[in-house]
Structures are given as structure tokens and as C-alpha cells.
Structure 1
């Protein structure tokens, strides 16, 4: 859990937040610990002492209770030694604000993204962990792993090179990782603790009663988190003496840690609206909150929420995140205290209402974020016009930046909404809006890893609620991403499950889409007989529904698998059926492409004269379609065929014509565009947007 103290004991940044400044440090104390850690880097390990080369990176462990300043110490160490590591610093947080371990898959993705490397959608955590280790093999990187819960989390990411260094932060020893000596933290020394209080109270209040200040440090057990809250209380009560606060802490019920006692005392001194806001911040996804989130949780204006967040930050309850956006973080050591306080002071119905307001606000922001990209759409402009000004983005670039910076909180909101189980309608709307916004700004390919996780959440909700149509959509989307990343067998299993769900939903579109995709998976696996069979089933359904365009495409796909299997007669019959279907539908360009594919099969079948005639007919249709690329490719194919028929003069004419059409670009490209399968989107939530 992220530590509370702003300076000496913890700077409050989550491990995956923006990199702190390396030019100036506000760190206090811990001189002995820093010296020991730096010496430990140079210390010979067990492998070196036994004469072997160290096979893996050295691990430095900083252990301490939440609020002890462990994260701040780790960040200060990183700041001091970062210059030794030419390839920079990588950070990852290994637990959620509530202490739940973060899946290694998600951590590995974040690290690979930090290295600028692609992350295959849906890859298993073992594969991604290996990719991280492989990527670090030739690099000299300093890796900070914060809030580790178990040794397995660190071991899965440990670089296989002694050139890297891992700084791990945990509550206790990481048993199972060899050659690790923990640096265990206690309280701050008295001088550093007093310097920390000075930053809130000013030197006068400390120097006029040094014994009271020392008693206050003793009551806080030197814990930075407790000292920060005590300093915030003193700053908010300028007329109160330091001795008063020390006395109140001493007489407070001896329940929990010094941080818990300081928190209860400081919270009780807050005005009513600030107290309620603080309690509700326990619901903030991923512990990250902005004025919009706070406004929705508390049911107040964005401006008022922003002011309250600034006030709470000044009192030590929140930390400001280094971000272009106004964004704050709930310290990890305060998260359980806030959760317990909210459960005690707020009715369950009020907490649920706050969650619902927050999710609804996120949905509206995501809708605005996507709508601003659709500048040519009257409907999108109308949606933007009716939104309150505070929910609008000035430009598409501003919307994209907001989406990128808030993405961890948005994905966290989706996970929490699904885990809640009582707000599934809002969860579905949120996930649908998030998918559309990410696709609009980043594109399907770039957003694929995040989309994969969202589709899995959609599948969880659909299975829980018995929503067969949405289950079908989620399975198809997941299977498509599996197929794109080479996991064809897994994609096939999901396509078959989607087919069953589509039949349960009585959805002919989804059923046909699933059957065609099953055929495509078999084709990718080289099982052409099964591929032709499934394409045939999908074709029968399309013909029964008089869907001529889709039927023509399926004729082409059946012809393609027969071609791969060497059954040229069947392939020619199906291409002729596709040609006839395209002629009836009036699709001139598709007609020309189908003719070109028929010519190709005729050439494979050893009938060059027929291929020549078909190709000439395809050229005529390509001219009508005004498809320059297809026309150029056909001219080159004609030239090749004529050369095989011993007519070099005519071949030269067609090749020259192709060169004029295509220019230098692709003049040797004989690839003719064929029938694309197309990506058929099935909305995974309600159509309301």
C-alpha cells in the first residue's frame, strides 16, 4: 500500500504514477537506511562468493508497515542511483489500494508498455512475464516494484541479468527469493520528525515548546503518515498548541496504529462536507480521484469538489498526482481506514447511490470523449450540444489526453463495477462507452490489450445475468483477438461457444457470424474439409435469409479453401456462383475481383487459355469499377499468362500499361484484393449511448 508521508516517510505517488523529479528532493531522514541500501548494491552476492556469475538481478527489499515511509525511501534511493542505469527506471505497483494483488499479466503489460514494446492481447501471464525478462536481457534498468504482497509477484518479473537492479517494497520478507536482506523500517529519528512537522506548523510552534513537540513525535511513534496528519491538524488549527494535540493523541482510545489514531482525530476536526467527501473517496477506483469523480460521489458541483480535494490534500489526507490533469491519490495506508469509516457512517444505500452517480458521470464523460471525434456527424454534434459545459472537451486532442491519463482509473472503475454485482446495467454501459472511446481515439489494434480485458468483464456480466446476446458478442470479440494474436485453437473454442450462445439468444446474425468464424479458424488450422463444411452451413443460413452480399462472400471463402485443398473444380464452381451473386447485387468491384480469382484458379488447374479470357473479362469490369489497383494487378497477371502462352509482345504491352497505372509503387505486386471477411461488430451492451 502506498505510504502516507509526503516527505520523509512517503511521497504518496503510486508506483505507476509519473516519474518524480530527480533534480530536487524533499526527503528527510533515513540516512542510515539509505547508506545500507547503497552498500548492499555493491555487496558480493552468494553466487559471487561461490565463484559463479550472478544469474539474475540483485533485489533490494524495503520492508515496513503501511505509513512507515517505505515507498518514499524507495523513491529516494531510485533518485540517487538512477544515473547508473542507462536505460532508465521502470515502476509497477503490485497491489490494489485495498491490498488485493495485481495480476502479473497486468503488471507485465504495464512494464512492456513502459519499454515501448507491443503486448499481445490476451497473452497468458507466463508468456508476458517471459517477454519482460527477455526485453530486459540487454538493458540496464532500475526496476521499482511497490506494494509487493508475495515473493511470486517479484520473481515472475525478475530480470535474468545482473546488469539490472530491482528495488522491492513490501510489508514483510519475500521468502523464496534468494540472497535478499530486508531493510526494515521503524519510525523516523526525532530531528527528522520535527523537521517534517515544521513544514506544516512553521518553526516557531515547534521551538517554543520543544518537549511537547517531542511528545507528539513519540505519540506518533515517528511514523511519517501519522506525523503528516498531525501536521495537517496543526496547520488547520493555528491557535492550538502542539501540547494540546499531543495530549489528545495520548488520551485517544488505544485502538490500532498511531496513524489510525491521528486519522480519527484529524477527520473528526473536519467540517461536515469535507468529512463526507473524505469517506466517499474510499469508493474511488484504483485510489485515483479527480474533481469529476469527487463531484459525482458527493453529489456536489465540480468546482466545489475541486476545492475540497485541494483542502484535503493540504491536510495530508490526499496526495496530488504529477499529471497535467487535476488528479489526486488516496494514500494506501488510509484506504482501509476510509473504507471502515464509510461503512460505519454511511448507509449502504447511500454508498450504492454514490457508486451509481460516479459510474454515470464516467459514462457521460466517455460519451463526450468519443463524440468529439465525430465532427462530421450531426447526431454527435447534437449529443455534445446537450451536455453541460463541464462535461465537454475543448478539442479531440484534449479528449484523447484525458482518456490516456485517466485510463487506469477508468479500467479500475469497470472492474469494480463488475465485481459489485448490483450495478450491472451501469457496468455494461460503462464498458460499452469505454470500448467505443478507446477505439475512436487509439484504434482497435493499439487498444487491443485493454479491449481484451474489457470483453472478459462483459462476458462475466453476461454469464451472471443470462444475457445470451451479449455473451455471444463478448465471445466473438475475444475469439477475434485470440485469432489475431495466433491463438487459433483457443479462438476456435470461443467461436463454438459463441455459436451455442447465439442459438440460445435466437440471433441469426450472431449465429451466422459465429459459423463463418468457425470455418475461418479451421481454415487457419489447415483443416480445409471442416472449413468448407462450416462455410457451407453459414452460406445456407445466408441464402435462407436472402442476404445476397454475405452469400456472395461465402461462396468466395468456400472457393478459397477448395483452392488450398487442390480441388480446383469445386473452387471454380463456387467462384462462378460468387460472380453470379455479385452481378445480381450490382457490386461491380466485387464482380471484377471474383473474376480475377476465378482466373487464378483456372491457371492453377492448367487452363491458361480460359484463364486469359477470364482475366480479360475481369479487366473490363475493373475498368467499370474504376479500381486502379485491381486493374494494374490484372494487367500484370495478363502479362504473366501471355508470356506462358509465348506472346511476349502482348505481355510487354500489358506490363507497360500496369506500370503506368501503378507507377513505381507496387509495379511487381500481382496480389489482387480478394473477398475480405470483414469485422462484424456486435454491441456488447445496450444501444443507448
Structure 2
């Protein structure tokens, strides 16, 4: 008997059993066997490549390919190879694992894959960056590292090639169904079924040695009936483990009796038969819960997801999920807030069973229940960050205890664990398009929860994608108000990451959408933001034009605070353009507006800017007088930092006017102010720097 792997990468940990049989190993699955494949792969790591044979230094990382059908143990083999290669310290910068195919069989876009790798590397990625930019960042990040990268479930070479580091010290292990044509120097290793002896050992480990020992020939026949396929063996073992009184012969006979669609490929029929065997043995309620898990976003579910899909209680859902783990239908991490994963090899079978057994209306209703439950959980997740006496916390207290979070750290942890599934739920809801109202509520709740727990800056890459989803729904449903809001949010993120011209395009589109909706806030905000974008580009004429349009609207609506702010922005761009007369007029108007509003600190700042403009214009005496006005206002407002900064500006102006004694007095005053306010930032005098 050859020493092949008993691959435990099947759908779940082994099932429990009881009775007179020897207790099976119920500890977390461990990899063993497959020594021949592992030896060949390890030898390929050190084997000279074509570049080396030609006398050239390798330009890129070496690529090893583990090819096999889903459920054949290819991912487990890659994980074991990575473990063995990193144990001696050959790759001190670690192992980085990313999935290239979603559980629904769709390829993961390159932008998401690259962003996932950057997250693992703790490298901040700009929101809205395209695939080429992010892939370049990945290659740059690995250029100075000695790391091992596992690219799991690759569809083709086009997914793998952009992520290959230009660094021969890195190693890439790609897992795929077939060859990766187009990547030179790939070392393939094809994974088939287990040999009969290893397959029998896998069964014995799951169901106990006694039932195998009493009928070894039938155990071998059962292993052959399963095609040596680890995922198939895991399902059959789970079925047997749940039935201590059943023999191996019972399982073999039941497996042979299962009928599968003749259109199913021959290589996939053993797994289809095993799934049918387990599915048909479930109680009706449990079988329906399993089928509905095909709707779980990204193949990830928790007890609330299963509860909402099946319309049952949360404890009943927890029990069903744990039973599915023991049967080999699900995987779980066993964390304090457990999350259950439907293996990719079983996802098509569960989906087919769902479509066969459930009516479309029932499927849509289950999806609606799941989305509604997710929205309520997200609302509770955000509300827990509000003060105790806030309306949101009072509403939270009225929710069922199973929906609430306590303390806030528990909500943050739930959000961190469930974020991939939550984002996938939003994408799926928008893509399906039949529950757009729920989709919009879900995205809005997710945006608020992320902002509350992570902050808008940290969550910006995720928020960018979510705002894009809102835009998709708004365009499909012709909702101009929502379209304007989404465009403004996307444009703000574009502007923040330096894509100013793209931001301008979106601000103009938001203006059109705001006008179509009659949304004065959106139109005013779009015009003001467009002015800021033109100012960033150095086009001060257009900037002042757009600020002027926004100002006219604010004045027409009687929004005095916004008008005062816009006067200040106009004053700034006029000053940048050297139009000091207009700049001074606008800063004076801003100061007057803040005076009418009773905002003394803002009035002081506006006057300080007016003094700066007067100085630029070559009118130092007027600047001195205006600056003193601003100092007095800052003193009245109790703004120590502003008062100190203005004292230093007065000192600089007096130096230029030839009065160093008075300048020293003002600097001394500034020093005293800063000493009294120990938390103030350092403010330097321009003359001192010069």
C-alpha cells in the first residue's frame, strides 16, 4: 500500500459517534499522508529553474501548482506544504493566503484579491484604486519580503500573474482545477483520489476502528465507491458516525442506491451521491435549513443567518448548524462568536437541492428575512456606540435580547468577523435587484456601523465599494436624490486620494442629480466641493466661480453660517490668485457673517486671514490694526492657540516695520500663552525661521 494522504480537508471536522465502538478522534482534523506529493513539491522548490539554467537570475517568484478537483484535498495539501516550508524559517515573513473564487463559483475580481493581500500585509490601500494600481502595490510590498503566498482556487493564469512578486525569494503556491497556461516555469502537482488503504484509515478515524475491522473488505469497497475522494469520504463517515448501529455495508449499499443526474460528470458523481445520502437522511426541518444555507452570503453563516433563512429560533439554528458540522456539511472555526462555512465543493449541490425543493417565492421570502435580520443586527451594532440616554440606545433596549450587543466590544468583534459576509450580502442584494429597498437599507446600516466602530478613514476602502452599490441601485431605480448622495460620497473619497479630476466629474454629475431631485443641500454641496477640487488643481478662476454659485444659493436660502464659510473659501482662492482686493472683501464679509452669528472664534480667524491678505498686499499698518482686532476677539473667545498664533504674526509684522522691541514683547506674550496651554501645538514665528 502506497503512503498517500488521508486528506482531512473535507468539508468539516469528523463526526461524533457513541456506543461500543472505539471512540473516534474528535479533535480538530490533522493532515497526514500525501508524503509522495509533499516530497515532490518540496523538491520543486529547490530545483533550478529555466533562468538559473540559462545563467540568469530569476526575475520573479517561483510558482508551484497543486491541481485537482474541488474537495480533493488540494487546499489542505497547500496548507500542509506551507506549514512544512515555514517551520525551518525559510520564509520568515510568513504565509499569506487568499481565495480567488467565491463560494458561488464566481471568480473574485482582481481588485478585491489585491486589496485582501494588502490587508494581510497591513499596507493601507487607497479607496477606489483600480486593479493595476493595487496589484502593483502588492508586488512592491513583497519586493523586500521573503514570504510564501497561497493563491487558492484560481480560475486561470490571468488571476495569478498580476500578483506574482518580482522577487525570487518569495514562493507562490497556486491551487487550481487545471493548468495555469501562460505562466512560465510552473511546477505542477496533480492531486487525485486517495489510495484504498488511506481512504479506509480516514473512515476508521471518523467512525472508530471496530466497524472497519469487522468488515475490512466492505470498507475497502466503500472507499472505492467514494472514488477515494476526501470530501465524499467525510460525508459518508459523518452519516455513519451519526448512526452507531449502522454497518459499513449499510453505508455502501445506501450509497450505491443513490440516483444522480446523468448530466453530472462521472468524476463528480461520488460526491453527489454522498451528499444526497446525507441530505435525504436529515429531518425535514433540518434538510430545509441546509438547503437555504445556499443563500448565505459568501457561503458564511452564523446562527442568526440560519435562523432568519429557515424562520426558526436562534437556538434551533445553532443546534442545526452544529449537527451539520458533525455530518461534514459545514466547517466552523469554533470561535466565541462562531461562523460556519459551506465548502465550495458542496455549494453547487446545496444550491441545486434548494432550486429543486423550494418554490421561487419561498426562496425570495427567505432572502428577505435574512436581509431584514442583518439590517436589524447592524442597527444594534451601531446603536451600542451611542450614549446610554440616546434615542438609539432606547430603541436598542426594545429589541429581543438575541439581537442586542453588550458590551460595545462584542459588537465590534461581531462586525470584524462578519464583515466579509456583510459586504457579500450587500453585493448580492444589489446584484439580484429584486429587493432593492432592503438592499439600500442594508448598505446604509453597514456604512453607519463601519463608521461608528472603525471610523470613516480606516473603513474608507470598504465604504467606497458600498457607495458604489448605492449608486447602482439609484441608477437602476431612477432615484436622483440617492444618486446625488452616492456620487458626492464617491467624489469625496476620490478627492481625498488624489484623483481630483475624477472627483470633479462626479461632483458635476451629483449637481445634475441634485437638481433633478430638487435637493438644495446636494446641489449646494456639489458646487462647493467642485470649487474645492478646482482650487486643489490650481484653477483659481473656476474655483471662485463655483464657490460663488454655491454662495449665491446659500444666501438665497438664508443659510448664514454656510454663507460665511463660503465667503472665507472665496477669500482664500482670491488670495492664492493674487487678487488681494477681492480676497480682503470676502474675508471681511466672512468676519461680518460670523459676528452676526455670534461665533467669536470664527470671527477672529476670519479677521486674522484678512490681516494676512493685507500683509500680502503690502499694507502692513492696516494688517497690524486688523491683527490686533483679531487678537482681542481670540482673547474674548478664550482661544489660546489662536491668540498665540496672532501674537506671533503681530511680532513678525512689527519686525518688518522696524520695531523689534515691540516684536519681542508680542513673542514673549505668545510664549506665556503657550506655556499656560501645555497641550497646544508648536507655533513658530516666521522671522525666527528665517
Give the corresponding residue for 2:626: 614
1:596 aligns with 2:608: yes
**1:308-347 alpha-carbon deviations (Å, 9 max, x no partner):** 1000100000011254421110010000001110000011
Give the corresponding residue for 1:198: 204
Q: CA deviation at 1:545?
A: 0.7
Give the corresponding residue for 2:92: 86
Whole-angstrom distance in 2 between the partners of 1:640 and 1:37 = 72
Give the corresponding residue for 1:30: 34
Q: CA deviation at 1:649?
A: 1.4
Question: Which residues in structure 2 correspond to 1:648-659 (within 5 Å)?
Answer: 648-659=660-671
Q: Structure 1 residue aligned with 2:244, among 207, 217, 238? A: 238
**1:471-491 alpha-carbon deviations (Å, 9 max, x no partner):** 000000000000000000000
1:145 aligns with 2:160: no
Q: Structure 1 residue aligned with 2:527, among 511, 515, 518? A: 515
- Matched-pair contact (CA < 8 Å) for 2:547–2:566: yes
1:471 aligns with 2:471: no
Whole-angstrom distance in 2 between the partners of 1:402 and 1:269 = 33
- Matched-pair contact (CA < 8 Å) for 1:365–1:391: yes
- Matched-pair contact (CA < 8 Å) for 2:226–2:271: yes
Give the corresponding residue for 1:680: none
Q: CA deviation at 1:200?
A: 2.2
Give the corresponding residue for 1:159: 165
385-394 or 320-329, which deviates more: 320-329
Give the corresponding residue for 2:20: none
Question: Which residues in structure 2 correspond to 1:543-558 (within 5 Å)?
Answer: 543-558=555-570
Q: Structure 2 residue aligned with 1:57, among 55, 61, 85? A: 61
Give the corresponding residue for 1:570: 582
- Matched-pair contact (CA < 8 Å) for 1:108–1:132: yes
Q: CA 1:447/1:303 → structure 2, altered by over 3 Å: closer, same or farther?
A: same
- Matched-pair contact (CA < 8 Å) for 2:156–2:180: yes
1:112 aligns with 2:118: yes
Question: Which residues in structure 2 correspond to 1:402-413 (within 5 Å)?
Answer: 402-413=414-425
Q: Which stretches in structure 1 are left out of the alignment for 5+ residues? A: 1-5, 15-22, 672-689
Q: CA deviation at 1:192?
A: 1.4
Q: CA 1:12/1:316 → structure 2, altered by over 3 Å: closer, same or farther?
A: closer
Whole-angstrom distance in 2 between the partners of 1:78 and 1:593 = 60
Aligned-partner SS, 2:163: coil
Whole-angstrom distance in 1 between the partners of 2:372 and 2:351 = 22
Whole-angstrom distance in 1 between the partners of 2:345 and 2:331 = 12
Whole-angstrom distance in 2 between the partners of 1:670 and 1:474 = 43
**1:70-89 alpha-carbon deviations (Å, 9 max, x no partner):** 11111111111123210111
Q: What is the RMSD of the two structures over their aligned residues, measured on CA atoms?
A: 1.6
Q: CA deviation at 1:661?
A: 1.4
**1:195-223 alpha-carbon deviations (Å, 9 max, x no partner):** 11112210011111111001101110000
Aligned-partner SS, 2:108: coil
Question: Which residues in structure 2 correspond to 1:39-54 (within 5 Å)?
Answer: 39-54=43-58
Query: Structure 2 length as normaliser, TM-score?
Result: 0.93
- Matched-pair contact (CA < 8 Å) for 2:300–2:342: yes
218-227 or 191-200, which deviates more: 191-200
**1:85-134 alpha-carbon deviations (Å, 9 max, x no partner):** 10111110011101111111111111111111111111111000000100
247-256 or 325-334, which deviates more: 247-256
Aligned-partner SS, 1:178: coil
Whole-angstrom distance in 2 between the partners of 1:315 and 1:245 = 14
Whole-angstrom distance in 2 between the partners of 1:377 and 1:599 = 45
Whole-angstrom distance in 2 between the partners of 1:394 and 1:387 = 13
Q: CA 1:297/1:254 → structure 2, altered by over 3 Å: closer, same or farther?
A: closer
Aligned-partner SS, 1:169: strand
1:372 aligns with 2:376: no
- Matched-pair contact (CA < 8 Å) for 1:579–1:591: yes
Give the corresponding residue for 1:279: 291
1:668 aligns with 2:683: yes
**1:450-502 alpha-carbon deviations (Å, 9 max, x no partner):** 00000000000000111100000000000000000000000000000000100
Whole-angstrom distance in 2 between the partners of 1:415 and 1:150 = 23
Give the corresponding residue for 1:218: 224
Q: CA deviation at 1:13?
A: 8.7
Give the corresponding residue for 2:318: 306
- Matched-pair contact (CA < 8 Å) for 2:12–2:328: no
Whole-angstrom distance in 1 between the partners of 2:282 and 2:155 = 33
Aligned-partner SS, 2:33: coil
Whole-angstrom distance in 1 between the partners of 2:117 and 2:606 = 46
Give the corresponding residue for 1:677: none
Aligned-partner SS, 2:32: coil
Q: CA deviation at 1:12?
A: 4.8
Q: CA deviation at 1:24?
A: 9.1
- Matched-pair contact (CA < 8 Å) for 2:11–2:231: no
Whole-angstrom distance in 2 between the partners of 1:349 and 1:247 = 37
- Matched-pair contact (CA < 8 Å) for 2:652–2:685: no
Whole-angstrom distance in 2 between the partners of 1:80 and 1:324 = 29
Give the corresponding residue for 2:363: 351
Give the corresponding residue for 2:327: 315
Aligned-partner SS, 1:214: helix
Q: Which stretches in structure 2 are left out of the alignment for 5+ residues? A: 14-26
1:497 aligns with 2:509: yes
- Matched-pair contact (CA < 8 Å) for 2:8–2:29: no
- Matched-pair contact (CA < 8 Å) for 1:33–1:183: yes
Whole-angstrom distance in 1 between the partners of 2:346 and 2:685 = 65
Whole-angstrom distance in 1 between the partners of 2:12 and 2:451 = 29
Give the corresponding residue for 2:18: none
Aligned-partner SS, 2:175: strand
Give the corresponding residue for 2:81: 77
Whole-angstrom distance in 2 between the partners of 1:456 and 1:203 = 56
Q: CA deviation at 1:551?
A: 0.7
Give the corresponding residue for 2:572: 560
Aligned-partner SS, 1:156: helix
Whole-angstrom distance in 2 between the partners of 1:77 and 1:519 = 56
Q: Structure 1 residue aligned with 2:462, among 450, 453, 462? A: 450
Give the corresponding residue for 2:492: 480
Give the corresponding residue for 1:393: 405
**1:202-254 alpha-carbon deviations (Å, 9 max, x no partner):** 00111111110011011100000110011011112222221122122223335
Aligned-partner SS, 1:406: helix
Aligned-partner SS, 2:192: coil
Whole-angstrom distance in 2 between the partners of 1:119 and 1:401 = 22
**1:358-379 alpha-carbon deviations (Å, 9 max, x no partner):** 1111111111111111024420
Q: Structure 1 residue aligned with 2:643, among 631, 652, 674? A: 631
Q: CA 1:338/1:564 → structure 2, altered by over 3 Å: closer, same or farther?
A: same
Query: Structure 1 length as normaliser, TM-score?
Result: 0.94
Question: Which residues in structure 2 correspond to 1:237-256 (within 5 Å)?
Answer: 237-253=243-259, 255=261, 256=264
Question: Which residues in structure 2 correspond to 1:89-100 (within 5 Å)?
Answer: 89-100=95-106
Q: CA 1:499/1:348 → structure 2, altered by over 3 Å: closer, same or farther?
A: same
Aligned-partner SS, 2:173: strand
Whole-angstrom distance in 2 between the partners of 1:269 and 1:76 = 33
Q: CA 1:64/1:667 → structure 2, altered by over 3 Å: closer, same or farther?
A: closer
Q: CA 1:152/1:35 → structure 2, altered by over 3 Å: closer, same or farther?
A: same
Aligned-partner SS, 1:167: strand
